Structures are given as structure tokens and as C-alpha cells.
Amino acid sequence: MTARFVLIDRQPLRCACLVTSLERWDVGGRTVPLSSAAEIAPLLTDGGAPIELVILSIGGMTVDDAPVADDLRRLRTEMPQVPVVLLAERGDRESILAALRVGVRGYLPTSVAPEVVRHALGVVLAGSIYAPVEPFLTNEHRAAARLAEPSEPVSYENGSCGPLGNLTPRQRQVLELLGQGRPNKVIAQRLAMCESTVKVHVRQIMRKLGARNRTEVALKLRELVPQH
């Protein structure tokens, strides 16, 4: 029996778009849209597949706003074991910490890339907590990351219409360090990223380059960019 995810969003159009995205990402369950947590009770007794995850889309609100606080209280009361992920427009440190304090298992600003959302949901479903690391970095961390970036970045112009042209700017930065044989931990430190996010980028790079492992990525990079 396929698991169910519940998506709660008070805005019908935004809710419909999110459902479409979740189904396309194929994160492992069927998505049931609701407009508030008050509508969730029938799902608990309808004999359907178990609910494994709740995604609460709150727009520009925070967990201190009454509608969000009410939804979270109801979810804690009726299904305390089911993890809740917040999808929010705010990505500041204070909003994230406030959400984690009330028991939210994941926090996703709407500014993150779709592949990060897919990965984050997998992290939460596996029993862990996901939150973006960027808001918690100090200015010193950011400065160190900038200094650690290669002083003479690789030129990808020749590959702009080939496989390299399909990579995002961030993926190209990761690829550059992969080509140097750097492990994920070092890549995360140099680019001021979470190590789990680096893993997402590495998988996407392998898929886009048609490589099965990191060694093949490095070989393909040397083929596509002769100076390597």
C-alpha cells in the first residue's frame, strides 16, 4: 500500500502547484492536499494508506502566527509520531530556530532548489531533521569559503551546449572540486554548504554527465575540459 503525504496550504493555486511538483519528484508517496489541519481527522480513520509525512506550507507566516500555531497543535495532538516539514517564504535564522523548538522536523525556505526539497524530504522520512545551514554561518565562515574557492576557475564555455551546459552554477563549483579529488566534507566546507546538500549535487552531476561514480565524473571532466 502506497504511503500518503499530507500537504496543507490555505492557498488553492499554490497548493495545486505543490502537489504537482511532489508527484513529479516521486518522493515515495501519494500526496493528499488539505487547506488546514482541521481537515485531517477523516484521513486517520478511512482505512487508507498510513500518513508518513505532513508538509505544512505557511507562506510568509511563522510558527508564532495563530493559523500556523493552531495547525501545529492539532497535528501534535492527532498524529504526534508523524513528522512535519514547514515550507516557508522566510529563511532567516530566527524563524528556523522557532520552528525547530516546537518540534518541526524539517524547514524548507521556498528559495531552495527543487532537488534540495526532494533530498530534504528523504532525510526527514529517514528519521532525521533537516534545516538549511546558510543562515547559521558566520561572516567568518562565508569569508573563508570565498577564499577557499579556486583562484582560477575552470572555463566551461566550450561545454555550454553539451553536458556541462546542463549544470547549474552551484553544480559547476562542486564539479570543479570533484575534479580535484576533494571529498564531500571538504567540498561542503569550501562552498559553505551542508554535506548532505553536496551529496545531492554529486548525484545530479553524475546523472547529467552519465557517470556511475566519482571516478567516471573526473574522467568525463578531463574529456570535456582539456585543461584538466
13 shares its domain with 124: yes
Same domain, yes or no, for 147 and 70?
A: no
Rounded to the nearest 5 percent, the helix, strand and coil shares of the chain are: 50, 15, 35
Q: Which domain holds residue 9?
A: 3-135
| Same domain (yes/no): 102, 156 | no
Q: Write out the chain's pLDDT in tens, 228 residues.
A: 467 899 999 998 888 888 888 777 666 678 899 999 999 989 988 888 888 899 999 999 999 999 999 999 999 999 999 999 999 999 998 999 999 999 999 999 988 887 788 888 888 887 888 888 777 765 655 555 454 444 444 444 444 445 677 787 788 888 888 877 788 888 888 887 777 778 888 888 888 888 888 878 877 777 776 543
Write down the pLDDT at residue 6. 93
What the block records as the C-alpha cell of 17 is: 502547484
Instruction: For residues 12 and 65, state if they share a domain.
Output: yes
Pick the last residue of a domain from 135, 161, 183: 135
Per-residue pLDDT, 163: 64
Look at the chain and report how many structural domains it folds into.
2
**One domain for residues 194 and 218:** yes
- Domain containing residue 153: CATH number: 1.10.10.10
Domain identity same for 28 and 65 = yes
Final residue in a domain of this structure, among 135, 169, 191: 135
The reply to whether 14 and 112 lie within a common domain is yes
207 and 169 together in one domain: yes
Q: List, for residues 118-151, the tens digit of each pLDDT value.
A: 888 888 887 888 888 777 765 655 555 454 444 4
Is 13 in the same domain as 115? yes
DSSP bridge partners of 51: 4
Q: 144 with 122, same domain?
A: no
